[in-house]
């Protein structure tokens, strides 16, 4: 049995990943802001003795540090950290975007990832093993209109994952990056400020990835033999692909 720490476990990929690891008998630390959602999930997964719940905001360094230092004894040896909590806000052009939204994305998708990593890594180093799986996005590699700051935060996650791999060489800590494309979760609802119609339209007449597709991928990465490091995986629904460069003509 391993101890798996999943951020953003109240919904989408994080929740599905929690269900997958729980069904395989692992112990879980589940973090998100919405405590009620975590409690519901923990009940479904067999109670709070199998799950330690942390209601915290990944943007708050102190909250993250306190949560880590307050872990009950049986949850202290974290084997796997899944840095999944994140969000996109807005899809408008840079000049119309809200600076506040940009700051929230930077604080969550970048600072959240580094706070969690910094809090969990020393224990992994001490124990001589561990695994960090970061959830990036296709938006970290491929630009699209309106992806401005969201895509840039995910480009950070991509390069941070690679740089971590370099720093951790010889330390027996695996680092992987999973970069999904369009996936139907609460993601679009959050991006469009709760506008159900707009969110639904994103997945209209196509089959997006599901949260379970990503959970299976994360589980597979962890299931590879200990000497195998999966560096990076990019997944898209078959309906999603690239388009030609846009050329503006006047």
Known catalytic residues are: 150
Contact call for residue 186 and ligand NDP (CB under 6 A): yes
Q: Which of 59, 116, 120, 124 binds ligand NDP (CB under 6 A)?
A: 59
Among the listed ranges 23-31, 65-73, 133-141, 169-177, the one in contact with ligand 8X3 (CB under 6 A) is 133-141
Q: Where are the beta strands (DSSP E) in the chain?
A: 3-7, 27-32, 51-55, 80-83, 130-135, 173-180, 183-184, 209-210, 232-235
Contact call for residue 82 and ligand NDP (CB under 6 A): no
**What residue number has its CB nearest to ligand 8X3?**
137
3-state secondary structure 171-213: CCEEEEEEEECCEECCHHHHHCCCCHHHHHHHCCCCCCEEHHH
Q: Which of 11, 17, 117, 217 binds ligand NDP (CB under 6 A)?
A: 11
Contact call for residue 138 and ligand 8X3 (CB under 6 A): yes
* Residue 34 beta carbon to ligand 8X3: minimum distance, rounded to whole angstroms: 20
CA dihedral over 125, 131, 137, 140, signed as positive or negative: positive
Q: Are 189 and 199 in contact (CB under 8 A)?
A: yes
Q: Which of 3, 10, 22, 217 binds ligand NDP (CB under 6 A)?
A: 10
Contact call for residue 233 and ligand NDP (CB under 6 A): no
Contact call for residue 17 and ligand NDP (CB under 6 A): no
Q: Which of 17, 137, 185, 217 binds ligand 8X3 (CB under 6 A)?
A: 137
Q: Give which of ligand NDP, ligand 8X3, none residue 102 binds (C-beta under 5 to 8 Å, depending on kind).
A: none
CA dihedral over 32, 38, 41, 46, signed as positive or negative: positive
* Residue 185 beta carbon to ligand NDP: minimum distance, rounded to whole angstroms: 3
Contact call for residue 115 and ligand NDP (CB under 6 A): no
Among the listed ranges 27-35, 66-74, 90-98, 165-173, the one in contact with ligand NDP (CB under 6 A) is 27-35
Distance CA 85, CA 87 (A): 7
Who contacts 41 (Cβ-Cβ below 8 Å, separation ≥6)? 9, 10, 15, 18, 19, 30, 51
Among the listed ranges 30-38, 124-132, 141-149, 226-234, the one in contact with ligand NDP (CB under 6 A) is 30-38
- Degrees to nearest 5, angle at CA 169 with 164 and 173: 70
Q: Which residue's CB is nearer to ligand 8X3, number 122 or number 143?
A: 143
Contact call for residue 67 and ligand NDP (CB under 6 A): no
Who contacts 122 (Cβ-Cβ below 8 Å, separation ≥6)? none
| DSSP code at position 130 | E
Contact set with ligand 8X3 (CB under 6 A):
137-139, 181-182
């Amino acid at each position: 049995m391993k101890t798996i720490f999943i951020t953003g476990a109240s919904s989408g990929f994080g929740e599905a990943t929690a269900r997958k690891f729980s069904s395989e008998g692992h112990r879980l630390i589940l973090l998100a802001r919405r405590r009620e959602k975590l409690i519901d999930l923990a009940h479904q997964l067999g109670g709070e003795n199998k799950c330690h719940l942390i209601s915290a905001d990944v943007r708050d360094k102190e909250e993250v540090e306190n949560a880590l230092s307050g872990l009950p004894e049986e949850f202290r040896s974290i084997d796997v950290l899944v840095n999944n909590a994140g969000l996109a806000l807005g899809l408008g052009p840079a000049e119309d975007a809200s600076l506040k939204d940009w700051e929230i994305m930077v604080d969550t998708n970048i600072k959240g990832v580094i706070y969690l990593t910094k809090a969990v890594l020393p224990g992994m180093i001490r124990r001589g093993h561990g695994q960090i799986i970061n959830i990036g996005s296709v938006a970290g590699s491929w630009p699209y209109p309106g992806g401005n700051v969201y895509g840039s935060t995910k480009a950070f996650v991509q390069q941070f994952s690679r740089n971590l791999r370099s720093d951790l060489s010889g330390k027996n800590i695996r680092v992987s990056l999973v970069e999904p494309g369009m996936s139907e979760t609460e993601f679009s609802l959050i991006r469009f400020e709760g506008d159900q119609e707009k969110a639904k339209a994103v997945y209209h007449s196509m089959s997006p990835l599901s949260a379970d597709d990503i959970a299976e991928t994360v589980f597979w990465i962890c299931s590879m033999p200990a000497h195998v490091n999966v560096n990076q995986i990019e997944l898209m629904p078959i309906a999603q692909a690239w388009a030609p460069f846009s050329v503006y003509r006047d």
